[in-house]
Amino acid sequence: MLPTIVLVGRPNVGKSTLFNRLTKSRDALVADLPGLTRDRHYGRGVGGDKPFLVVDTGGFEPTAESGIMKEMARQTLLAIDEADVIIFVVDGRQGVSPQDKVIANRLRKSQRPVLLAVNKTEGMQRAVVSAEFHELGLGDPLSISSAHGEGVRDLVELALEPFADPADAAPFNEEDAPKVAIVGRPNVGKSTLVNALLGEERVIAFDQPGTTRDSIYIDLEKNGKHYTIIDTAGVRKRGKVFEAIEKFSVIKTIQAIEEANVAILVVDAQEGITEQDAHVAAYILETGRALVVAINKWDGLKEDERDWIKREIDRKLQFLDFAKFHYISALRKKGLPELFTSVDGAYKAAMAKLSTPQLTRVLIDAIAQHQPPISKGIRPKLRYAHQGGSNPPIVVIHGNHVDGVKDTYKRFLEGVFRKTFQLTGTPLRVQFNQGDNPFSEPDKRVQGEGIVSMRRRKTAQRAELNARKNDEVKQGKHKASGLEIAKRAPKKKKSS
């Protein structure tokens, strides 16, 4: 087991900045706003000679009795219980605050080793700045600057000094476990679903839109399989996003979707299918991610309301016909096993390996059933197909005059491939590749010229040649008409 270092402190003292410094990443959102971090954020530390885990926590308010601050304090206390070493981060520019004293008393009761890190001391006399923090009774304060990295390495080495070097620890490699992103509008039950899947209160689930601000990556083992669950912030309409923090949260959500293998789109059944639900689904489809749709809060609807929701799904989300829909209750943990069965199926379909002979046979059968429509007097000829990528599966079809293949026929081929190979839960993309004419002279490119530039140059040359021919034809007609007029004109008699 790797030693776990937990960062604790009141809001806006630089814990997330120190977390990013220790993990050499930008996983944690950082801004000059108190209370930005709310959930526990785990990362692999790479700032010391020994491997370790580091946990970022929200601003610690031990005396909070209600609201979101109480939930944040509860998450911090859970992280403290898991800690091998606690780094208590304080603000050197603001000095000792009454809240720092309360936190110090609480940390002493935890019976965990505590290191006191006085942050934001860049450009200051460290001995003078850290002197007043001796009154917290947590040993010698260590002056650091998490933003500039000053003193951070010494802090990490001191924290890891009691632990032996785990020589038998497995090297750190990213697992091939599927990454599953939980996405949707604010307050539809994403965090509640994450906690239900994990079987613990891992993230804050609060009846307030925008509770989750960062994308939280959590490892999960279910039925002998490993997954990485990503809890994301809710995505609202662009016109309703005003705060800069929410804009960063949306960016993190978009990045999580692009990084994931499967996305679970959570929809609130009690509010119906909104335009924003369709927009989020369209973005998932655009990125090519496998998709499972979870209609949450299904247990609170009457029979006629359920029928109305199903009609709304057929009308507004008909472009998601490849995905499976599940009607669940995250709060009561109903329908979750079937949901994860569809996640496994969608991941398997997204990563499927399709052989070239099978794809070509399916293509030939599809053409025999329905040939490509004629375009500009020419019928496209599709010859063979092969796989061009996974997640999503890409089928590349080679042939002649493929520029004339219409979108309707392209969708027809996508449906045929998806049905034949049983690719449920993932979008499938069909690409066409124009075959070269073996009887045409090969185009010679100028040195350093790209294909697009060569084609433009050839097009310009052909246009210039055609213009010259037209000018010659016009000049020829003009000369011919002049001769004809000269022949018809009466000849003058010669004088005797």
Q: Tell me: is residue 300 an annotated ligand-binding position.
A: no
Residue 152 neighbours by CB distance under 10 Å: 21
Q: Judge whether 141 is annotated as a binding position.
A: no
Does the annotation list 330 as a binding residue?
no
139 is in an annotated binding site: no
190 annotated ligand binder: yes
Q: Is 13 annotated as a binding residue?
A: yes
Q: Can you say whether residue 139 is alpha, beta or left, with left for phi > 0 and alpha for psi between -120 and 50 degrees? A: left
What phi, psi does 354 have (nearest 5°)?
A: -110, 125
Q: Is 188 annotated as a binding residue?
A: yes
437 is in an annotated binding site: no
Q: Is 389 annotated as a binding residue?
A: no
243 is in an annotated binding site: no
Which residues, in sequence order, are CB contacts of 410 under 8 Å at separation 6+? 430
Which position has the token pair 């213009």? 467
Q: Is 101 annotated as a binding residue?
A: no
342 annotated as a binding-site residue: no
492 is in an annotated binding site: no
What distance in Å separates the CA atoms of residue 212 and residue 233, rounded to the nearest whole number? 5
- 14 in a known ligand binding site: yes
The reply to whether 82 sits in an annotated binding site is no
Please check if 191 is assigned to a binding site: yes
Answer yes or no: is 121 a known binding residue. yes
Per the annotation, does 481 bind a ligand? no
399 is in an annotated binding site: no
Residue 377 assigned ligand-binding role: no
Is 479 annotated as belonging to a binding site?
A: no
57 is an annotated ligand-binding site residue:
yes
> Is 67 annotated in some ligand binding site?
no
Tell me whether residue 315 is annotated as binding. no
User: Alpha carbon 237 to chain centroid distance?
Assistant: 18
For residue 467, the one-letter residue type is: A
308 labeled binding residue: no
Residue 299 annotated as binding site: yes
Instruction: State yes or no: 298 annotated in a binding site.
Output: yes
- Strand ranges across the sheet with 381-389: 381-389, 394-400, 429-434
To the question of whether residue 189 is assigned a binding role by annotation, the answer is yes
Q: Which pair of tokens denotes residue 91?
A: 């603000």
Annotated binding site: 9-16, 56-60, 119-122, 184-191, 231-235, 296-299
Annotated binding site for GTP: 9-16, 56-60, 119-122, 184-191, 231-235, 296-299
